[in-house]
Amino acid sequence: MATKLATPLIVVESPTKAKTIGRLLGDTYTILSSYGHVRDLPKTKLGIDTEHDFTPQYVTPPKARPVLKALKDAMKKHPDVILATDEDREGEAISWHLINALGLDEHKAKRIVFHEITKTAILSALEHPRVLDMNMVNAQQARRVLDRLVGYKLSPFLWKKVAKGLSAGRVQSVTLRLIVEREEEIRKFKPEEYWTIGAKFDVRDATFEAILSNINGKTIEKFDLKTALDTTTLVETLRSATYAIASVEETRVFKNPPAPFTTSTLQQESAKRLRYSSSKTMLLAQRLYEVGLITYMRTDSTNLSTEALGAAKLYIAKTFGEPYAADAPRTFQTKSRTAQEAHEAIRPTDVNVAPQLATIDGAAEQKLYALIWNRFVASQLPRASFDHTTVAITTRVKDSSASSGQATYQFTASGNILRFDGFLKVWEQKFEEKTLPVLRQGDAPTAKEILPEQHFTEPPARYSEASLIKTLEKFGIGRPSTYAPTIKTIQTRNYVKKEQGRFMPTELGELVHKVLIEHFNEIIDIGFTAAMEESLDAVANGEGRWQDLIKNFYDPFSVKLEEKYKDAAKVLPDEKTDIICDLCGKPMIIKFGRFGKFVACSGFPACKNTKKLAG
């Protein structure tokens, strides 16, 4: 009787992912989950040997121990182990930790990656296993060590300067800086007055609107009409003038479809259209990926596979008709200055699974899948076209100050009519259709009304979830996988809060920022943080040792930190109050903590009485 061969063991990091792969591959493979990282730096100490090449001291968290035991037991029956964690740096690091924790040979262990959880993609990956990419692992190690050093060393400094229990982070502190500095801009902002002049014209029983755009051949700039006084005489002149249509220009204009989603643009659009936080968006996207509905959701690439492009073209022709498939396939160039992660954009794994056909648990996931599906299909639809009309209405009036003795004023009217919806068929965007009456050069419209309007400049807007992520990406702060946890962290720490969908710093956040910018400005500098990301990219590309990167940062940082500790004085000294402690009778003082100001007994630590600060 033939001995039945043991099935290979595939290890992934998520139980949902394991279940989906198991469903696709059947009983030819055994699929188990590591439930994320099986090793990490210790929680109770630094865990980095700064004296010996910054060697990390990894430990197995208690919750990972039974998982590791189950994996080791499974290996006895299934010795052929294949690591199939996600294809980014963190996924590579999880595989490396599994290799070490399970006692596998780093140089022989089988590693597979795939961008989507489909049978075709997984079988293809199984046919082409590779060895572990230690360059990617080292880039992730460098990030982890760097962030631990900054957080573990800088946080106690905040305890001494501000209050116990505070913490600092490398990327989080730069993000906080953006929000605080925007708030400072808003406070310093002084509105400036300016005016515009509009008009309503009648021609052949039809009315249309226009705006004064040109005086004596010069385009009117924003602050050319600064006050009501600047406009009063001009308005009277224009009210009594005689007008003629000088030109009518009709052009066809086009609007191109957007690129398929990257992590950043998905988070931005999800915030704008669905009002989902970046954390919620990534959690839902992770679920959609793990059940096989979308491709990998951490990416800064807008590339699309040839197969996906071909499938989209067939689907569009079948569903919408040939006119909508004419421009497909369309490719896009990645705009991110730091693009380096997964090789393809976020898209549905099967375009034929339209949102109404997808089996999805939960309305929130359904909405996000529809957003991703619509964006992908829109990217392969033709551009939208509009008929755009521009009309120039002019008048000449006597003006003794002009060299010709006359002044020329021009109003401009615009019309915009959608002719072909193209990608707008599935990707709704706001646009205004505006119809003008039939106008011909030489027509003499009558000025029915001349309408001066006062305006004031607006301060810069506080960051929304979408605009903050866009700014982080623009400056190269963090990576696709860091935006959501970064934003969540600064809210959890009570450094920023959201009001009407916009971020503003708390009193505590501004205080922390003040301390950090005063003493460690270079660490929370936007340029420094972006340069550090580029250095991490270099490590991932095999350029240099990660330990050298850490050393170049840590050596001057630790010297400065020691100096700052010596001259550090508390930013806010404790304030005396007239309140008497109702437990011990001593006076109470105002102190600062993680959640702002509070009242505490001056007899601490003998008396630990605290109260909320009234008002």
Catalytic sites, residue numbers: 296
What is the H or E stretch that residue 91 is in?
helix 89-102
CA distance 131 to 521: 41
224: three-class secondary structure by DSSP: coil
State the burial class of residue 363 (Cβ atoms within 10 Å of its Cβ: 0-12, 13-18, 19+): exposed
**Contact (CB, 8 A) for 41 and 59:** yes
Computed from CA positions of residues 61, 65, 67, 69, in that sequence, does the dihedral angle turn out positive or negative?
positive
Question: What is the separation of C-alpha 212 from the centre of its chain, rounded to a whole number of angstroms?
Answer: 39
CA distance 512 to 517: 9
**Contact (CB, 8 A) for 380 and 345:** no
The CA–CA distances, whole Å, from 501 to 133, 268, 516 equal: 41, 13, 26
**Contact (CB, 8 A) for 331 and 312:** no
DSSP 264: H
Question: What is the separation of C-alpha 437 from the centre of its chain, rounded to a whole number of angstroms?
Answer: 44
DSSP per-residue letters across 532-592: HHHHHHHHHTT-S-HHHHHHHHHHHHHHHHHHHHHH---SSPPEEEEEEPTTT-PEEEEEE
The Cβ of residue 359 has, within 10 Å, a number of other Cβ atoms equal to 8
Cis ω on the peptide bond leading into residue 556 (within 30° of 0)? no
CA distance 140 to 96: 11
Computed from CA positions of residues 485, 486, 487, 488, in that sequence, does the dihedral angle turn out positive or negative?
positive
